[in-house]
Amino acid sequence: MSQIKTIGCSFKFFSAKLQRLPFSYQIAGSCFLIAVLLLNSLLIAGCAPSVTITGTINNYAHKEIEMENVRFETHGLPGNIPTILPARAYWLRRNEMIAPKWDTLEWHWEDQAAMMTCDFRSNTSSGNCQVCDFCHPPSSTNGPPCLGYSQPPVVGNLRIVADSGFIQTDNPQVIIDYADSATLLQTCSNTQNPLVFTPPMSGLYRFQGLNFKYNFVGGTDAEVKIHIVESSGDSSVQTTAYQLTRRTVDGLDYWTWTIDGDPFWLENFSPNLHVTDIQIFRGRCADGSAQGKQCVTPNESVAVRPSRLFFLPGFQNTVSNYIGEAAHRCYSDPNAVGVNFINLGSCLETYNAVQTTPKFATPTYEFLPARIAEKLTWLAQFNTNEGADADLTTSANDPMPPDAELIIQFTIQPIN
């Protein structure tokens, strides 16, 4: 026999009717799953109960469905650039693709005699606790742990949805509906035929389970923020900002920033994008969550001029002894227009240089050469003898106070 319980809303009449229905579990089918969908059709609009399934096959009760290391990755990047490191937010060029992934797709079964003692923290099956991972199925699916299921049945509704405002809403746009077993298996990270989609807009993309609770395990909360940068036009220019931290390196003061997160970076960027203008402002970051950003530059922030910037992959807390340091620095342009004192597209590698050298980097990594796994550390220096100025309203080059709070702002553009 099987039972279907509803928790969170009062549907005693329908629940009682369903509980009295006889079910015969067959190895090739799953009638108790159909009951979940039947229950959903009876629910009153506006109430979303939690549904728990308990049914038996060979004395095993189905407990839950779990996916491990749920994430979103970039897919199909051009040329010899491998897939960039996974992140909780991406900046992509228009028409680039994303692959949703999980490492396991597990059905958990518990022998009724176990009396709810299985915590399923281990993926190893034991007598009472069986874990059927459809991403890595056993040679035979007859009997435990898969109990006759050769493919994962679709339970309730599982979707990937998007909220354009970077904040969850009650009516997100549906991106993918998991309507069959094949689509579920295409999300396994070991598949040769991955499921992919092209994000239609900037926003918050996430897995959403309806009518059934899916356990999404991992460091991303089963969601990702995606910023779309257009290929051309005025909308192709976007900016992103971060708070700098004062740091003493080799006895000198710098203001530095490195992307947080490990193994999932908080943000990462397509190699089809690059940094052009870089600006430094005095002030504290404003909340950028409504724009999907960690930081936005407040309107009252005041621009300052650094003497030079370093962008060092794999920084080891030394500038003077950093191998290749000369190729990873840009000095302020004395003839800069406005407050765009440093532009990586026309980098001055030495003070008062005439010849410029283009540099190819995103805020998080350098890609020419490709060092996509090494985080960049950005260091801003303020040497008044080399043009630094903490107050652009005076005629003198004012030194930067050691307690100054600074913001670095990157202009992000597509590579043409």
Convert the pLDDT of each residue in 129-167 to its tens digit.
999 999 999 999 999 999 999 999 888 889 999 999 999
The two tokens of residue 65 are: 């469905």
pLDDT attached to residue 81: 54
The half-sphere exposure of 135 on its side-chain side, counting CA atoms within 13 A, is 23
pLDDT attached to residue 183: 96
What domains, with CATH codes, occur in the chain? 3-64+105-133 (no CATH), 67-103+155-229 (2.60.40), 234-414 (no CATH)
* pTM score, whole prediction: 0.84
Euclidean distance between CA atoms 269 and 255, whole angstroms: 22
The half-sphere exposure of 179 on its side-chain side, counting CA atoms within 13 A, is 4
pLDDT attached to residue 99: 96
pLDDT attached to residue 288: 95
The Cα-based distances of 227 to 90, 171, 224, 323 in angstroms read 6, 20, 10, 34
The half-sphere exposure of 128 on its side-chain side, counting CA atoms within 13 A, is 9
In 134-266, which ranges are E strands? 157-163, 173-177, 203-210, 214-217, 223-229, 238-243, 245-249, 252-258
Euclidean distance between CA atoms 111 and 59, whole angstroms: 6
pLDDT below 70 — which residues of the chain? Answer: 1-56, 77-82
CB 317 within 8 A of CB 326: no
> Which of 57, 33, 54, 30 has the alpha carbon at shortest distance from 116?
54
| Beta-sheet pairing, 308-313 with 223-229 | unpaired
Euclidean distance between CA atoms 245 and 407, whole angstroms: 9
pLDDT attached to residue 355: 92
